[in-house]
Structure 1
Amino acid sequence: MNEAARAATAARERRRLKAAVIVIAVIAGLLAGVGATRALWEGWVSDRLLQVRALVTDLPQDRFPVAVVGLDQASLTSKRLEAIPRVFMSQAFAKAGTALFDAGATAIGLDFVFAFSADAFADPQTGEARLKGYDRQFLRFLYENRGRVVVARTSTGIPHRSISAAAGSDGVRSTEILTDNDGVVRRHRPQLPLETSPAFVDAMLGHAGAVVDRPYVAVPGARLATSVPYLSLLDVLDLMDAPDGAEKLKQFAEGRVILFGSTLPNEDEHLYLDRFLPRETPVGESAGPAGRPPVRTATSGVFILADLIGSPLVARTVTEAPLPLVGALIFVFALVGAFAGLNLPLPSLPLVVAGLVLAGIGLAFAVLMSGWLLPAGAPPTAGFIALMVAGVAQVAVLKRRERELVRLFGHYLSPQVIRAMAEEERLSDLGGETRKVVIGFIDIVGFTRMSERLPDREVVKVVNTVFDAIGTEITRSEGYIDKYIGDAVMAVWNAPNDVADPEARAVACALAVVDLLPELRRRTGQPELDLRIALNAGPALVGDIGGETRRSFTVMGTTVNTASRIESIAKDAAVRLAFTGPVGDALPARWPQRLLWRGQLRGLMTETVVLTLDDARLWMDGEGPALMLVPEEAEPAASSDATPSRQTATSRT
């Protein structure tokens, strides 16, 4: 198999490996995303989104169709009711219920399990039923309002048989409410038809004429303890005797479903999705003289029942987002995470994760405002897991060859060449391509004399110090160190990597190297240390040169030869920088130029123009450049030690 076939096979295998990694990462993301739809933290995020929604939207001003009459601390400690045990409150409920029906209430729900009947109590001494007939008023109230009154039951408690008989078979329903896996009440799943459902909420929805055909989540705008219309049981009883009480009761009850329930602390309380909402009282609602129960972390069950019943009646609910939409978002996030983890640099992946989280929350909020409840954490979780799987694959498998090449060749080849070799999983082809480059030769001046008077170890130390500083500047300007030639460095701009404005970058690098001279002289202890730089721009052959067993990445051609020859012109002109016309033509106007020499170099058919910058830093003797007085057809002597005659130079801007 030849080199091209091996390269094609390696490329196909790499594509197949990447495809397999993406498939595995996406599957892992899908599984994680689906599992996260019911994660413990999912509900917390949804509740926070409801909080944001309440802060950016106004509380609905519509009259809420459900109100609560609470058996609260003010009622139990009042002079009117303090002598009556709670199990004997049935007469008070009957009186209050009758008054509220007279005031226009449409239905009444009693969130109490009347497990005992006062009529059944007997004197333990004599066995006499001393309270017989006590519940007659309450039983009559239940019987006469069958179809409009619902009594609560639970899995652990049912009403006394006399109360159940009076309420009728349709008058006793379960008030148990389901919680999510984090213990918070958020949603109601109605059982259709509502009229025959065993659920208390469904029965009251049916009495209110609601049309509900799917599970929903109530969306309150404020804490229920402050926003649900409320009167204390004591206030209702007192209004019955007040001169204007009938009118106030009418304002409170007309057209509403009324729920009776306990609002005492630590009694029938649940965590509800309103726990992060603001505390606001709707316009037009005011508490009675007894006030409202204090707002606590948990919410009284009767308030939750009221919100679950009333929200569908005022279109203040959201439904769970359709499964196809949720699945599509999970898949898209998993796909994005897989591609990011496989292709992006590892340091950027935390930013991608943050972007996935923000995108997921933003989508969930937008969907919430549209009437759907989307699991906000599921798509980002899918994207994160897919990203992690793909990222691990990138580090463990796909980057293995690149790490090996960097370890082996990092000191010899540029990172761009190594990455290309790792991507293709082979050495680059011999030969290469022709492209426009800038070639630079940076030479240590007087190296021969320095070598004669210094020990070899000191010479090596000086050269390494100088080359290290020069190499740093070349790399900073996006140049490539092609090779070290004795006491000189050959650098290339715009190969093998693409560089914008390579001429300007090369000249800027040269100036930066010249500015290093004082520091280099101090570090090397060589006060006479100096540098000479020659630059040329033009087309050159760029690529690997050599054989299958030994090769080198380099550039070749006339452009390289010309750059090496004009270094002698810089020497004879006593300047630290010399460059050809193609370099000068591409420089910005802020760098004024001076002509050094014009003529034909040996072996070339075209005229060569050599220039320098009009900058005193570049003059070795501080008096300006020395111009060569030679015939135009002659090539300047590369090794002449004679001091050239001087002539005023023309400027070029």
Structure 2
Amino acid sequence: MNKSRLFAILFGLVLVAGLAGLRAQNGFAVKTLRNLVFDQYQRLSPRKPQRQPVRVIDIDEASLKIMGQFPWPRIEFAKLADRLTELGAAAIAFDILFSEPDRLSPSALLNRSDLKSWLKAKGKDGASSLPDNDRIFAQAISRAPVVIGFGTIQSGQNTAPPLKAGFAFTGKDTLSALPQFESSTPILPGLEKAAAGIGSISLSPHGTSDVVRKIPLMWGHGNKAWPGLALEALRLAQGASTFIVQGASDTPGIVQGIRAGAFDIDTNEHGELWLHFRKDDPALYVPAYKLLRAGKADDARLRKLIEGHIVLVGTSATGLLDIRTTALGETVPGISIHAQALEQILAQDFLWRPDWVNGAELLLVIVLGVLFVLSATLLAPVVSLSAGAAVAVLIGAGSWYGFSRYGFLFDPAFALFTGLVVHFTMTAYRYLITEREARFVRMAFSRYVSPAVLEEIEDKPDMLQLGGNTRDLTVMFVDVRNFTPLSESLEPQALVAFLNRLLDELSACVVDERGTIDKYIGDSIMAFWNAPLEIENHEERACRAALRMRQKMAQLNDDDAFGFHAAGYDFARIAIGVGINTGPAVAG
């Protein structure tokens, strides 16, 4: 291997090392590229709809139009909880924050100072005898398996709601792997105490409204953990008391899965569930007003939709600002994200991306990068590109097959990006550096050797050895007879023109017979055969070149190509002498 190719390979390996370092950092650009690939996979193969016992009670635009603007009086939520309990809901989860007392409660209204003064003037004390909507709502949820939601906050006063569920951890330091929160939105004490379950409604540990691709099933705070809304609803629906968080036995700070009652859940290393979305289905939703304004005649139809189902209460109304974007590119209510998570768990249909995949993807970047360096350096550009394209197709197809068949999330994007960058960088380098050498060879030899020999030299540059080697050469010397009196008779410009024409014509005879021009010495030419490349029958070719020169000189003289006859010079016909010898010599 010549030095230029070795240097090209070293340059390529440095480039691969830089790209591998970029992948190892797993920064924003890498994650963005990965997410785009996984989103495209989901759009090509969304989760197939499967009827699961999950239902969403939707506070939609129609419900707001019929029932009035939001927030509704808490007594309406009490009625909703009672109605769902009557219809046989397995569990009820509210994707709504109940942080402040109901301002529309009669008791709250009569606590206003202006109304108090008026009642006192009338000799009445109505506040103590009027109903309290929050108390009524608390009584309603105490009679049912209800989950109240709280929001996670990444700053604040280090507060957290009470725990309703038990937790058991396996592995090393598993709790630290969960997404952490600093504080939480408050829940009214009466509701907090009455609820059978409490779960987080937050969909991201970063508090962003970006595309939702995965959600935390659990959250950590201090030395305790809290379930997400969907997971807590699943626990209550089964009547379970404890979650089991499974960690790695040999590596601290990694979650391998969660067990909720009878269901095992595949998660990533942070206890997050990768969501495999199906297209949004209107059949999932029941408008809230249909429950709150329906008569007994509607019970049979509604019971089919509610009985035995985990029921999530949330909103799709645009003005209530709980609209999210899924990996499918759809905008859906936030409550439907929790519903889809429950559907996946119930169907045991998971996307999985084990913690070792990052290392495997990094290894692929390195291996693929090295292969592309070698192919771009050692193979012809077209062959290298074809081989690289074939490898890229195989990797992409393998990744897609793993997703579509097994739900396996393997990111080929950065490895393919590395291959693309390496291939075109190495091709450009090869053109600028390696091809520059070929151009140098062409420029250096084009005037001295035949095109066929030059092509061989370009194809086999390693045959040109510094220091030379000993081989049999055929050497030719050619000069002009009586050149001294001729040169003394001509003007310098005419002499130069004569020599240029003569030497060009004679040099062509050498080159046509695959000879190499060594040098021009005044009116003389030194040429040789069998170097820098071996030439078969080099002695014969040298003799043929001499005969060609004789024929060429006769033609030039007959045509008065130099104009000497027309100018009346005595040396109208030019003669040359040719000497040829064959023997060992050092060539190089």
TM over 0.5: yes
Corresponding residue number in structure 2 for 1:579: none
Which is worse superposed, 108-117 or 306-315?
306-315
CA contact (8 A) 1:66 1:310 kept: yes
Distance 2:445 2:208 in 1: 56
CA contact (8 A) 1:150 1:172 kept: yes
Change (3 A) 1:430 1:483: farther
Distance 1:552 1:423 in 2: 7
CA contact (8 A) 1:42 1:375 kept: yes
Three-state SS of the structure 2 residue aligned to 1:24 is: helix
Corresponding residue number in structure 1 for 2:558: none
TM norm structure 2: 0.61
Corresponding residue number in structure 1 for 2:358: 323
Distance 1:432 1:102 in 2: 108
CA contact (8 A) 2:325 2:332 kept: yes
Equivalent residue in structure 1 for 2:509, among 485, 493, 497: 485
Task: Give the aligned residue type for 2:233.
Answer: M
Quote how far apart the aligned CAs of 1:261 are.
0.4
Equivalent residue in structure 2 for 1:102, among 86, 92, 95: 86
Distance 1:190 1:247 in 2: 34
Distance 1:254 1:132 in 2: 30
The question of 1:362 aligning with 2:389 is answered no
Corresponding residue number in structure 1 for 2:195: 167
Distance 2:190 2:412 in 1: 49
Provide, for residues 222-247 of structure 1, a one-character-per-residue CA deviation record: whole Å limited to 9, x for no partner. 1x2x36611100122344x142x222
The question of 1:269 aligning with 2:323 is answered yes
Q: Kindly tell me the number of residue pairs found equivalent between the two proteins.
A: 429
Corresponding residue number in structure 2 for 1:555: 536
Corresponding residue number in structure 1 for 2:301: 248
Corresponding residue number in structure 2 for 1:278: none
Corresponding residue number in structure 2 for 1:545: 530
Corresponding residue number in structure 1 for 2:13: 23
Equivalent residue in structure 1 for 2:75, among 91, 108, 117: 91
Change (3 A) 1:88 1:29: closer
Distance 2:207 2:376 in 1: 33
CA contact (8 A) 2:151 2:200 kept: yes
Provide, for residues 30-85 of structure 1, a one-character-per-residue CA deviation record: whole Å limited to 9, x for no partner. 2233456743233122211211123xxxx63531232211101101111xx23xx5
Change (3 A) 1:64 1:429: farther
Alignment of 1:265-414 (within 5 A): 265-266=318-319, 267-275=321-329, 297-321=330-354, 322-345=357-380, 358-369=393-404, 370-387=406-423, 390-391=426-427, 393-395=429-431, 397-413=433-449, 414=454
Distance 1:164 1:24 in 2: 59
Corresponding residue number in structure 2 for 1:48: 40
Provide, for residues 496-530 of structure 1, a one-character-per-residue CA deviation record: whole Å limited to 9, x for no partner. xxxxxxxxxxxxxxxxxxxxxxxxxxxxxxxxxxx
CA contact (8 A) 2:352 2:407 kept: yes
Which is worse superposed, 306-315 or 88-97?
88-97
Task: Give the aligned residue type for 1:372.
Answer: F
Provide, for residues 112-133 of structure 1, a one-character-per-residue CA deviation record: whole Å limited to 9, x for no partner. 1012223544334134748642
Quote how far apart the aligned CAs of 1:307 are.
1.2
CA contact (8 A) 1:72 1:232 kept: yes
CA contact (8 A) 2:54 2:284 kept: yes
Structure 2: runs of 5 or more not aligned: 117-125, 154-183, 238-260, 474-494, 516-527, 549-588
Quote how far apart the aligned CAs of 1:253 are.
1.9
Corresponding residue number in structure 2 for 1:68: 56
Provide, for residues 240-297 of structure 1, a one-character-per-residue CA deviation record: whole Å limited to 9, x for no partner. x142x2222222123321110010115112222121xxxxxxxxxxxxxxxxxxxxx5
CA contact (8 A) 2:277 2:326 kept: no
Corresponding residue number in structure 2 for 1:123: 112
Provide, for residues 459-487 of structure 1, a one-character-per-residue CA deviation record: whole Å limited to 9, x for no partner. x99x99xx9xxxxxxxxxxxxxx98328x
CA contact (8 A) 1:103 1:254 kept: yes
Three-state SS of the structure 2 residue aligned to 1:33 is: helix
Distance 1:67 1:173 in 2: 19
Corresponding residue number in structure 1 for 2:522: none
Three-state SS of the structure 2 residue aligned to 1:159 is: coil
Quote how far apart the aligned CAs of 1:423 are.
7.7
Distance 2:446 2:348 in 1: 67
Change (3 A) 1:36 1:391: farther
Equivalent residue in structure 2 for 1:229, among 262, 284, 289: 284
Quote how far apart the aligned CAs of 1:27 are.
1.4
Quote how far apart the aligned CAs of 1:109 are.
0.9
Quote how far apart the aligned CAs of 1:346 are.
5.3
Change (3 A) 1:238 1:46: same
Distance 1:310 1:32 in 2: 37
Distance 1:181 1:388 in 2: 37
Distance 1:375 1:356 in 2: 15
Quote how far apart the aligned CAs of 1:334 are.
1.6
Change (3 A) 1:135 1:342: same
Change (3 A) 1:377 1:179: farther
Three-state SS of the structure 1 residue aligned to 2:115 is: coil
Task: Give the aligned residue type for 2:457.
Answer: V
Quote how far apart the aligned CAs of 1:191 are.
3.3
Distance 1:432 1:124 in 2: 120
Distance 1:94 1:248 in 2: 21
Equivalent residue in structure 1 for 2:460, among 415, 420, 443: 420
Task: Give the aligned residue type for 2:288.
Answer: L
Three-state SS of the structure 2 residue aligned to 1:260 is: strand
Change (3 A) 1:562 1:389: closer
Corresponding residue number in structure 2 for 1:202: 231
Distance 1:101 1:173 in 2: 22
Distance 1:423 1:257 in 2: 79
Distance 1:181 1:343 in 2: 48
Change (3 A) 1:418 1:13: closer
CA contact (8 A) 1:259 1:306 kept: yes
Alignment of 1:404-483 (within 5 A): 404-413=440-449, 414-421=454-461, 426=466, 431=471
CA contact (8 A) 2:59 2:287 kept: yes
Quote how far apart the aligned CAs of 1:20 are.
2.9
Corresponding residue number in structure 1 for 2:311: 258
Task: Give the aligned residue type for 1:201.
Answer: A
Equivalent residue in structure 2 for 1:177, among 204, 207, 216: 204
CA contact (8 A) 2:457 2:533 kept: no
Task: Give the aligned residue type for 1:43.
Answer: N
CA contact (8 A) 1:319 1:373 kept: yes
Structure 1: runs of 5 or more not aligned: 1-10, 276-296, 434-455, 468-481, 493-542, 568-653
Distance 2:375 2:359 in 1: 24
Distance 1:256 1:544 in 2: 94
Task: Give the aligned residue type for 2:211.
Answer: V
Quote how far apart the aligned CAs of 1:323 are.
3.0
Corresponding residue number in structure 1 for 2:277: 220
Distance 2:194 2:230 in 1: 20
CA contact (8 A) 1:109 1:259 kept: yes
Change (3 A) 1:123 1:143: same
Task: Give the aligned residue type for 2:276.
Answer: V
TM norm structure 1: 0.56
Taking only aligned residues, the RMSD between alpha carbons, in angstroms, comes to 4.4
Equivalent residue in structure 2 for 1:186, among 193, 204, 213: 213
Equivalent residue in structure 1 for 2:97, among 102, 108, 113: 113
